[in-house]
Chains A and B, each alone.
Chain A
Amino acid sequence: MGLARTLIFRATTLALVLILVVFFMVIILGATGTSDKILQAMVNEEVMMLRQALAKTIKDPEELNRVLAIRKQELMEFYGLTKPWYIRLPDMAWRVITLDLGKARTLKTFAGGNKVSEIIMERLPNTIILVTSATAISALVGLIVGVRIATRVGGLLDRISSYFSAVSYAIPTWWIGIILILVFSFFLRLFPFGGLYSTPPPTDPFLRFLDMLWHAVLPVTTLVIALVGVWIYTTRTIVLNTAQEDFVNAARAKGFPEELIRRRYIIRVAAPPIITNVILGLATSISGAILTETVFSWPGIGRLFYDAVLVMDEVVVIALTYIFTLVYVVARFILEVLYVILDPRVRY
C-alpha cells in the first residue's frame, strides 16, 4: 500500500546516508593519516607487550629483537599498514557499520574492560533516559502552552512565551546548566553536583531509583530549557495557522462542540507539521544531550564523547561519531513513520 512503499523508500534513503557518512569518515581518517597513526600505535603496543612476555624466555637480546621484528612485520601486514590507506577503506567501513568497533585506547567500561561496544552500550541507556524525559516534558509543556496561547493570541502568556522563545535562541543552554549547578548545588545545596547516583549508591532498588531522579532534576531541567522555547513557538504558530483554516470554520458552522474541534480539526491536523519540527529539532536534542551530560557528568554517550576528546582516544571518538549518526538516523526514521501514519497526504 502507499504507506509501506513510502516507508521503505525512506528507510533505504536513510540507510544510504549512513553508509555514505561512514565512508566519508573513513576517507577523512585515511587521508589525514589518523588511521595510520592509530593502527601504528596498536602495533607498537602489541610489540611492547610481546617484548615483555618473551624477555623471560629469550635471553639473547639480538635474538629477541629479531623475533620481535618478524612479529612486528606480521602485525603490520595484518592491520594493513603496509598498504596505502585507501585499500584498507572498505574493510574499515564494513567493520564500523557492523559495529565491530575495536578496543579503546585509554577509556574503560565501568568494570574495567576496554571493548568499545561495551563501553558505549553501558552508557547509551543513560543518554536515552535523559533525552526522552526532557523531550517528553518539553513536548508536553510546548503543546499545552502552545495550544493555549494560540487560542488566546496577544495575551500575557503569549507575550511572555514570545520573549522567552526569542531569548532562549541566544542562550547557551550548557551555560544555564553550569549556573544551575552554581546556584542549586553550590550555594543552595539542594541538588547534587552531577553524576547518576550518589557514592555509594543506595542498595534498595526504590531508593536507588529516587536517587537517580534526584540526580536527574538539574540535567533534565537544563535540556528542557534548551528545547521548550522552540516547541512552544512552533506549536503556537502551527496551531494558529491550522485554527484559521476553512475546515475549522466549517466544523463550527456544522455545530460541533469546541472540544471536538480542538481535538480532531486543529490538533490532529496540526500534528504532522509539529512532528516535522520535532524532526528538525532532533539535532538540537542530540547536541543538547552532549553538552548537558558533559556539564553534569551524566554518564551517557554524550559525556563519553567529551571524555574521549579530552584523553585523545581516537577509537572511541570515531565509534561515537558513528553511533550518534546512527541514533540520529534511526530517530528520524521513527518520527517519519509517525508522520506518514498521521498525514495521509504524503503517501504515494
Chain B
Amino acid sequence: MAMNLRESLKEFWRLNVSKVGLIFLSMLILASIYVVASYPLDFGVRYWNNPSYWADYPKSAPPAWVNLISSEKAPEHYVLTYTKPSNITLTGTERKLSYIFEIDFQADRPPSFISFTILDITYHERPSTVKLSVLRPDMKNIEVYSFIVSGPYLGEEPPYRRYYDQPKRISITGDMLTATALSRFLYREYNVTLRPSEVNSIGQHKILFSIPVRDREFKVLKGQYIFTIDVYTYNPNDEVGEVTLVIGGEVYGVMGTDSLGRDLFIGLLFGFPVALFIGIVTSTITTLLGAGLGIVGGYLGGRVDEVIQRIADFINNIPLLPFLIFLAFILGQNIWILVFLLVVFGWPTLTIIVRSMVLQLKSGQFIEAAISIGAPRWWIMFKHIFPQVAPFIFAQLIFFTPTFILLEAALSFLGLGDPTLPTWGQILEYGFRSGGIYVGLWWWIIPPGILIIWTAITFVLIALGMEPVVNPRLRKIK
C-alpha cells in the first residue's frame, strides 16, 4: 500500500531517529557547502600532497587545546609576519630595515624548530644582507644567522628581484652556522663547552630557548624573547616584501597536525564533501542500475531475465574486497574508477530483490488491466511497476550510502585511494603507515574514524526513520 508524498513525510517525521538523522545530515551538508565554497578544486594536489606548503608547521603536533588540560605546557606555534619594518635606521647609504618580533615564551618545553622566510626582495646595486639576532630573557644577545642575497646573474639587468615565486626559507634548526654561533655563545656566557656538531644534535632551537644546567642538560628559559631580522639595503629603491618568523610549537590548531605537519582540521574538513559525494553518487548510480535491471528482468522475463540473473549471480559469487583490491590495483587509483567498481559490485543484490518484488507485482490485476488496454511494455514498467517499488528503492539508496562510504574508507586505508582527493580513510592510512598508532598520536587516529562513523550513522538513522514508510507492517496503528 503506497502512501502519497505528504503522508510519507509525516510518517517519517514521527520518529526521533528521523529527526536526529536529518539534523546530522544538514550539518554534514553545511560543512560540505563551506568546503566547496572556500577550498580550491585542486586542494589535494596543490596543498595537501605538497610537503613544502607545510614546512613551517609543527610535525605530529597535538591540538592546541591540549595545553588546557595537561600539567606541562607545550610550546605554542608562532607564525609572525611583517610586511613593513618595525623601524628603519639610516647610516649613510645604508638603510637598515629592522623587523622586530616579540615573543612571550611561557611553555615548559622549548620550541620544536625555528625558521624564518623572506618573500620578495629587490635590490638595485648591492645585494642586501640579512641578519637574525635574538635577545633572550637573560638579557643576552646572540647573532644567530646572516646571509647575503645572491648577486646578479650573467646578463641580468637591475632591478634585481629575488625570492618572489619561491620564498627563501632558512631553518635555524639544523644550520651549522647557527650551531657554531651557539657553541661560542655557550662558552662565552656560561662556560659550557659544546662542539657545534653536538649543538646541532641537541637542537639549535632547544638551546636558544634554554639555560644550561649541567654539561649537556638544559632547562627552558621562560620570558620575553626579541627576534630581530635586519635587512641591510643600499639603495633607496630597494624593497622587501614579507618577513616571516616561525617559532615551531609542539601543539597546533583545533585538530593538530600529522607527521608531515599538515593541519588536520583543514584536511578533515575537506573530507566532508568527498564522503558525501562518494556515498551519494555511488549509491544513486548503483540503486538506479540495480533497480532498473531488476524491473526490466523481472517484468520482461525470458532470455533478458536469464542473462541478468546469471550475471548478477556470478558477481555475487565473487568475494568483494579482494576483487576490489585487485581491480583498483590494476586499473589505477582514481575516484571515478573506484565509483565504477563499487557500482559494478553493488547492483546485483538490489536487482535480485527488486526482481522478486516485480515478479509478485506482475501477477497483479492492475497489470493485466493495463496490458489488456494495450499499453506498451515500457509504459507499464515505468508507470505501474516503478511507483510500487519506488519507496523501497529510495530507502535502499539511503541504506547503501554508508556502505559505500565505508568501502571507500577501507580501500583508502589499504592504500588504494585517489591521491588527488584526500579522504578520511586516506588520512587514517597515512597515520597507520607512518606508525602513528604505535607512538600514540591519538588526535590523528581518532577524529577521522569518528567522522566516518558520524556520516555513516546519519544515513542509518534516516534509513531507520524511513522503514515504517516503506514497510507498512511497521507503522503504528493510530
Contact = CB atoms under 8 A, between A and B. Distances in A.
Given A171-B456, A172-B409, A186-B440, A332 B317 contact: yes
Interface string B376-417: 000000000000000000000000001000100110011110
A218 to B, nearest CB: 12
A92 to B, nearest CB: 14
A182 B322 contact: no
Interface residues of B, number: 39
B410 A174 contact: yes
A288 to B, nearest CB: 9
A324 B319 contact: yes
B432 A178 contact: yes
B153 interface: no
A172 B317 contact: no
Contacts of B323: 321, 325
A324 B325 CA distance: 11
Interface in B20-57: none
A172 B432 contact: no
A291 B322 CA distance: 11
B377 to A, nearest CB: 31
Chain A, interface SS category = helix
A169 to B, nearest CB: 6
A173 to B, nearest CB: 9
Contacts of B320: 283, 286-287
A320 B449 contact: no
A82 to B, nearest CB: 23
B440 A178 contact: no
A182 B329 contact: no
Interface in A178-212: 178-179, 181-182, 185-187, 193
A305 B413 CA distance: 13
Contacts of B410: 172, 174, 287, 291
A182 B460 contact: no
Name which of A21, A172, A325 has the most chain B CB atoms within 10 A of its CB.
Answer: A172
Contacts of A317: 325-326, 329
Q: Is the interface of B mostly helix, strand, loop or mixed?
A: helix
Contacts, number: 123
A45 B413 CA distance: 32
A294 B322 CA distance: 13
B449 A170 contact: no
A166 B322 contact: no
A158 to B, nearest CB: 16
Nearest to B317: A17
A73 B189 CA distance: 74
B452 interface: yes
Contact of B432 (A25, A286, A295, A309): A295
A306 interface: yes
B87 to A, nearest CB: 51
A20 interface: yes
Interface string A276-290: 000000110011001
A175 B314 CA distance: 31
A305 B437 contact: no
A76 B331 CA distance: 25
A318 B452 CA distance: 30
B213 interface: no
A230 to B, nearest CB: 13
B326 A25 contact: yes
A206 B410 CA distance: 36
Contacts of B318: 17, 21, 325, 328
A336 to B, nearest CB: 11
A329 B313 CA distance: 13
Interface string A306-339: 1001100010011011001101110010000000
A329 B322 CA distance: 13
A178 B437 contact: yes
Interface string B303-326: 000000000001001111111011
A7 interface: no
Contact of A174 (B413, B438, B456): B413
Nearest to B416: A309
Given A172-B406, A178-B445, A287-B321, A310 B415 contact: yes
Contact of A182 (B415, B440, B457): B440
Contacts of A17: 314, 317-318
A295 B432 CA distance: 8
B446 interface: yes
B464 interface: yes
A81 interface: no
Given A172-B452, A187-B440, A305 B322 contact: yes
A21, A171, A321: which has the most chain B beta carbons within 10 Å?
A: A321
A271 interface: no
19 contacts: A166-B460, A172-B453, A175-B449, A175-B452, A178-B449, A181-B437, A182-B442, A182-B446, A283-B321, A286-B319, A286-B320, A286-B322, A291-B410, A305-B322, A306-B415, A321-B326, A324-B322, A327-B319, A328-B322
Given A187-B440, A290-B414, A324-B319, 4 more contacts: A166-B464, A170-B402, A172-B409, A321-B322
